[in-house]
Structure formats: structure tokens, C-alpha cells
Structure 1
Amino acid sequence: MKSGKLEVKNLVFNYGEKTILNDISFELSNGDFIAVVGKSGAGKSTLLRCLNLLNKPKSGEINILDENIVNFNRSKLKLLRRDIAFIFQDYNVLDNLYTVENVLTPYLVKKSIFGLILGYSKEEYREGVSFLKQVGLEDEAFKKSKYLSGGQKQRVAIAKALAQNPKILLADEPVSSLDEKNTTLIMDTFKKLNQENGITVLINLHDVNLAKKYSTKILGLKDGKVLFYKDSEKVTKDEFEELYN
């Protein structure tokens, strides 16, 4: 994957008999910062999980470099997921590991059995600390992760995503459980990575004010359908009201 461009065409996802996503179409371009907004149950989390095939759509296309990834085999999917990092709402940080070891877990998939026995090299530890530095946590590198705050754990999750060297960063409600101070820290970090590292960001948010402040485009999902997809400054108050009514 050479870029952060992605095209979704007529995506449908069912859970049993219930249609969760219905004919979803939109495009991401390199360097976009897309906020997905909508009520709980609108399909936001399902959409993100479809984009890296954690959920397999019933039909439709997800095109990267003009290739539909929906039917990728396991080996091609493994390579793809190195380029599409996923940050979960619950941090997905292991408490008993040192902070830097959590950051370096994406390196494990590249190691041989012998490499796994030897553990991380000094150079890998230095790289892990450099990722933590990008999120302002280098001083916590050798602290057990269980002693970190919720906001710090979320920044560790971002640093771990950076260790994948992704082209696209998917984040599912990463600030929903954080206070205002930590929310600002996390959102500022996403924006910095978007602008300085050129990472395309697609993030689920409850707060439309955050969406308007940080994103370049907003995708409004309602009942599993796209209600609007446009530049952030062009979304009207009436459109937001319709989205949440």
C-alpha cells in the first residue's frame, strides 16, 4: 500500500437478519482527516471494522490502489493491516507490560521464533521510545502500563499504531471516556500526526464540536446510511439536527 487513499463503494453489512450498513459509499484521499458522527447504533464502529476487514461486508467494495480488498486471502490481509492501524475505544494496552513494550508489540509479527526468544533489541527499544516521544510519553517508557492514566493509555495506543508505520489510522471513539484535558491532548495528537506525518485519519466521534474543530471532512451516518459527506465547514446546523433526531 503506497498511499492513504481508499474508496468505499456500495458497502453492505448484515448482522443476522439486521442490516447495519446499507449502501455506504465515500472516498478517503491522502492526508484527509475524516470524522464519522451519528447516534449510537448508527453503524460507526461497524464501518471502521469493515475497513480493515475485522468485519467482512456482505457486499460492496473497499478499493485500495484500484484493488478490492474485500476478497483478500489471509496473507494479503495480514500485509494490508500493517498499513491500516486500528485504535480501539478501550485502549487495548496490556497492563503488565512496560509502556515501551506495549508500543513495540507490532514488531512481534515480523520476528522469527528465535527472535521472539531473544526479545527486543536495544535499537528496537530506542525506536519504541521515539514513538512515545511523538505522543509526549517518553518519560513513561519503562513504567508498567497499569500505572498509567486513561489518557496516557490512549496515547500509548496511538504510539503502538505509529510503530506499524501506517498510511491510514482508524480510531473508534478514542476520547469517549476521557475528560476535557485528555480529550484535547489526544485530538491534538491525531491532528499533529495527520499534518506532520501525512497519515490519513478516520475517527468515530460523538461530539460534533470536536468533529468540526479537527476534521477536514465529516461523514454523517444515520440508521446505517450516509446522510451527508462534505467538508467540515460546510455541514449545517440543520444537517446535524437531522442526524440526531
Structure 2
Amino acid sequence: MDALTRLPLVTVRGLRVAYDETTVLDGVDLDLHPGEMVALLGASGSGKSTLMRSLTGFAPITGGTARVAGHDVTNLRRGELRQLRAGVGQVFQQFNLIPRLSVLTNVLTGTLHSAGPINLVGGFRSEHRKRAMELLDRVGIAHKAKDPARSLSGGQQQRVAIARALMQQPRVILADEPVASLDPKLADSVLELLRDIATRDGIPVLVSLHVLPLALRHTDRIIGLRHGEMLVSAPTGALDADKLSVLYDDEEAHDDDHRA
């Protein structure tokens, strides 16, 4: 079944985020459907990270509506914020691993989103350890399970972070500049992994990127922001670098974001 024929797991309409007198996002619409990977593009300061943060309640929604994995983010009931965040896997540019802990333990911390910190004190159940090893095998680094996270390369650490996100059994994955610190070959491999997760597991992935060729190679749709407003929303196949140049303020920024 085509992804766009399935009900979206994220629905955003007229989203506005403002801090005092400063409007960061204004009038953003977004749908994320099971099975698709969507790129979020825009120059620095366009509002990409704020949009992702708003979907998990870390940025204040001051207008419009947002529903994420069954939760109304604009009107969360008491205790619902934890449930929302447990259902959203997050992958970051800086990996956010615990360097001294083993790769396996870092992946196991993904269970804490739903079970709470007591598990870290009492140990992890055998079924969790089995699943963590299966996920490490899936991302290609099961042989590093006992190694401290700090000993891994950047690409390997990002794979650990992805396995940790999957450990949550998320309904949605938000990846904020996940390949910004990786070389082009590693960037391609990480995005291929995220695309496989979206396709095979039916988990929609929203990934913010700076490099246009990566977005054009690896995603199904592209959302483009400029100064907090959505200027582009289209299937990737209908876009190219020239059509996306509207997102960037000047030719220098445009050129930088075209580099693979």
C-alpha cells in the first residue's frame, strides 16, 4: 500500500511557535504517513529544529494544532507528555550516548522512556537484552556490544543511537541533522538505514538535512522552511536543486547546501 494512502501518524495544521515577540514558525502544515521518510530542509535559523521540538512538547505551540502518534500536543492531558515522548524515537547530530557505558547498555536505555529510571538501577530484563542485541545486529554493529560507546567511530555511534531509538518501539522517528558530522559515504549509509526502517517497519521518519543531494537521494517527500514559513511541500521526485533554492537566503548559502 502506498504510504500516502495510510492515515498519518503526525498531523500538523497552521503551527505557530513564538517566544515573546519573536515568531519562529508560522503557519506550518505537515503530515507524516507510515512507511515514508520526509526531509526537512532550510537554512540555519529557518525553524527546522524548533518544528521537531514542538512535536514532542519541548517548544511551545502558540497557534494551530499538532497530533503526534495519537496525542494532541497542543492540549496534552496530565501525564500524557511522557507517553508522547515514549512513542517518538529521536536521533541527534551529537548522538547523545553515554560515552563510558557499553554499546549494549546505551541501546538498553531506550527502554527507560516507558519504564522509568528504576530499570537502570535494577538491571534490564533478559528479553530487553535479547532485543537490544537483535537491533545491534540489524544496524550492523553487534560485534561492538561490549565496547564502550566512546571507542566507536561517529558513524558507528549514530547506528547505536538509531538502535536505541528503535528500542523504544517508537511510532515516529525524528532525526535532527543525524549525518551533519559524518563524511558523505557514512551519511549515505545512515540515511539508507533510516529509509529501511521507515519502509520495512512502517515507522515514519522526519529527517532534517543541510545537504540537498542527500535529501534528493534518500527521501520520499521534502518540506522546506524559510524564516519559519513553509515554502516547499512536494514529493522528492518533483523537485531539484533549482526548485529548492528558494529556501536559502543568498547564493553562498545555496551553494553550501548543494555540496554532497
TM-score by length of 1: 0.92
1:222 to 221, 226, 248: 226
Structure 1 pair 33–124 and aligned structure 2 pair: CA distance change class (3 A): same
**Which amino acid in the other structure matches residue 217 of structure 2?**
K
Unmatched 5+ residue regions in structure 1?
A: none
1:103 maps to 2:104:
no
- The CA deviation string for residues 104-142 of structure 1, in whole angstroms up to 9 with x for no partner, is 112235447875443123332221111111111100111
Structure 1 pair 226–165 and aligned structure 2 pair: CA distance change class (3 A): same
Structure 1 pair 54–129 and aligned structure 2 pair: CA distance change class (3 A): same
1:157 maps to 2:161:
yes
1:59 maps to 2:63:
yes
Structure 1 pair 134–179 and aligned structure 2 pair: CA distance change class (3 A): same
Distance 1:112 1:35 in 2: 32
Matched residue, 2:254: none
**Which amino acid in the other structure matches residue 119 of structure 1?**
G
1:22 maps to 2:26:
yes
Structure 1 pair 24–128 and aligned structure 2 pair: CA distance change class (3 A): same
**Which amino acid in the other structure matches residue 220 of structure 1?**
G
Unmatched 5+ residue regions in structure 2?
A: 1-6, 250-260
Decide whether the 8 Å contact of 2:39 with 2:208 is kept in 1.
Answer: yes
Q: More relative contact order in 1 or in 2 (CA 8 Å, sep 6+)?
A: 1
Distance 1:180 1:113 in 2: 37
Matched residue, 1:118: 122
Structure 1 pair 221–123 and aligned structure 2 pair: CA distance change class (3 A): same
- The CA deviation string for residues 29-78 of structure 1, in whole angstroms up to 9 with x for no partner, is 22121000111110001101111111121121102477632221341111
Please report the RMSD computed on the Cα atoms of aligned residues, expressed in angstroms. Answer: 1.9
Matched residue, 1:131: 135
Decide whether the 8 Å contact of 2:215 with 2:222 is kept in 1.
Answer: yes
Residue 4 of structure 1, CA deviation? 5.5
Distance 2:241 2:116 in 1: 54
For 1:185, what is the secondary structure of its paired residue?
helix
For 1:41, what is the secondary structure of its paired residue?
coil
Matched residue, 1:204: 208
Matched residue, 1:73: 77
Matched residue, 2:190: 186
Residue 144 of structure 1, CA deviation? 0.7
TM-score by length of 2: 0.87
Decide whether the 8 Å contact of 1:4 with 1:168 is kept in 2.
Answer: no
